[in-house]
Structure 1
Amino acid sequence: MKKQRSKNQRIRYFIVNMISFASIFLILGIIVFQLLQTSIYQSVDTELNHLAGNETFLEGQIKMLQVDRTGQFPKDSPIFDSEKGTKTPPNNFQQQVILWSEDGDILNSEGLGSRYNDLQNIQFSTDQLDTVTNIEVADSNDRTLQFRSITVPMMSNNDEKVAYIQILTNTDPIKGTVERVKQILIACMVIFGVLSIILSYFLSKWSMKPIMVSWRKQQEFVENASHELRTPLTIIQAKLEKLFTKPNHTILEESETIATSLTEVQRLGQLTNDLLLLARSDSNAVVLEKEPINVNQFLEAAIAPYQELALAENKDFILVLEKDGQVAFDRQKIQQLLIILLDNALKYTNEQDQLQLTSTIEKNEWVIRVIDHGIGIEEQQKKEIFDRFYRGDQSRNRKTGGYGIGLAIAKWIVEAHHGKITVSDSEPKGTTFTVSLPLK
């Protein structure tokens, strides 16, 4: 069931990612194509509008009709070249000019030459004067030619009876370019579409990893918390039920039962506080109250009870305070960190063993080392000891007390101060926890 939910979620992520990538590529392709098409035709339209508004050019086209009849340019022609005595008509292969009569007849058919065969099928229209339009013309070989065209009216009293002048620019090369670009864009979109499918698959798989890890941790947290809560609750219930079986006993007679119940209640309260702290840390609801504190004075006061406890357990506790200074940190949280580390050091050492806490400021860091010469930690366990509810004794006996969440809290406190905590072996035996907190 869990695997099925995970698979369904991954499929949903895959579909969403694929649709997102495909939409982005499609929209990008359309925008690029439209911009290219608009810009590539814009220069043609600008040239057509320029020629249509150039009176000298238009008058020159009318004068060209005289060339068709006489074969010579008149001296007053605006397109006459005085040096050569003649001039090539402005029409070229890509651009043609048609002179229309009032009745819709082509007046410059001789000037068009062989191009007249391609242009004679143009349908004359005065519906869109002074406006650039797109027209298609079937030539003598049944090919369809593409033109951008503009038609302007002329003075009706000119000698050649030219009523309209139509300027055309052949856009077949442009259309071919646009079609090639279109094909390239489609090919690229297909390629990127395939890549988006592959990328979406890996993204959905990658994005599900932290979710599955978080979900698995949550499941383990709930299961372990339930297990840890069940034990003290069971003990308390058993002790209270035992009291009901002996209603005539005095408190003194049942003091051991009551003391055991109180001990489990205290343990249960501590566990509840620790679970609440971890839950709040996961949601970033805990705010550190940092203040500048003299580290040596703070340490001397914080570990004093543990020095007495170590002495009572016949253990040697050495405090080494080196370079002093002020560091901004949360007093309560760092004290809790020290309690966790020193409590572990005391639990896992025997009589006559030595414990040591060193403090110094080096390289803009406050470095604390808690060193014990107890039983040590196996190499494969060092990567897991900061996990919640992890205990080196997998049988989970309560011989040393605790619930396996102390070091998880310690790690969170250090990371909340932007520091780091590491574990290593002591010489000749034992464990060293090193905490490094930045000064700023």
Structure 2
Amino acid sequence: MIQRFRYKFIAISTAALLFVILTIVGSICTLTYYQSHQEIERVLTILVNNDGQIPRKGIRTTDNSQPQFSREGLHQYRYFAVLVDNKNQVTEVQDDHIATVTPQDARAMTDRLVRRKVHSGQLLYRGVNYAYKIRNKNGEKVIVFLDESLLMARTRSLMHTGLILGVIVLVLYTIVLTLYSRRAIRPIIEAEQRQKEFITNASHELKTPLTVISANNEMQEIINGENEWTTSTKQQVTRLTKLINNLVSLARMQEQPTLTMLPVNVSQIAGDVASSFKSVISTEQKQFNVQIDEGLVANADENTLRELLNILLDNANKYCDPQGEIDFTVSSSNHSKNIVITIANSYKDGKSLDAKKFFNRFYRVDESHTQGKKAGFGIGLSMAQYIVKQFKGKITAKYTNGKLAFIVTLKEVGK
């Protein structure tokens, strides 16, 4: 249990850091990508406003918050300009600032843009992305193409570096967390250990006075005969003994290492457990409906699975209404590769119950913690929940059609 908690602690902490890293790296990449496109837009605007030429005078922009460009700075960009007359014929190609585009390429790209009739955007030509901007001037057009490769390469490099650093940080954090996680959860381990020791020691200390009380009660019955007081004492001793045994069983169950999971015949085990309860339920004039599909196999521990079914059937019999019904169904799910075990009992007072609390230890329906027959669900269901978790299954409770039902789902093998 502690080991599973440790792994969960590591997984949650690592997931939290992963979320933070993705948020930071994603924000940086998004901002860098946005700034690159803004830079491309500003450079195109400057060039197209100057007929595709780098201006000889100072470069001014209307937005003072943006970085300013110098004439020398503009020479770092690879671009070319095309002049088009009012008949959409190319009259001039200015390709002094680019070496990879020929005049024929420039004309081909211009023809594609003229058909588009869009004044700005991107154009993919021979595997290279070009940003372009068109300016109308006296019926003619000035089109400036800017090679995005350099700018976007820097952006991709930054993104790639950010991702690599993020992965490195995540791996280092996970390694350090794994090495020191036991120290981090040491107080929880110690508290859990003290709790188990307390339960074990207390059970041994309580068994002695209970044995003495039981013996004294039997002596009173021999001397004075059985009466309502001795009967009540006997019932309470039995109840306390069962509670102590359950507490010890739960503590020992949690101390055990992970169960050895092997394919077991759930149908056969369920049939054996149902047979053992049939006479007990019939004696109390309750109807026992059993429906078990044959050949259902799941990975589990056979003895622990029997204990699980015994707990649930005992709980159903205990809290079933007088002359009510108990349903025990084991079937294969139609929608998934699961075995569904359903144990339900008639319980007319179940509408007001909170099914989510059934698996809490010592849960009781009423606030006064009375000792009546239906005062609470003890720790049996808590043990059942722990067993199902060991089987990597799921257990739920619900109240429907006047019946309280517990549903166990296990992974079916061989389906």
Q: TM-score, normalised by structure 2?
A: 0.45
Q: TM-score, normalised by structure 1?
A: 0.42
Tell which structure's C-alpha radius of gyration is larger.
Answer: 1
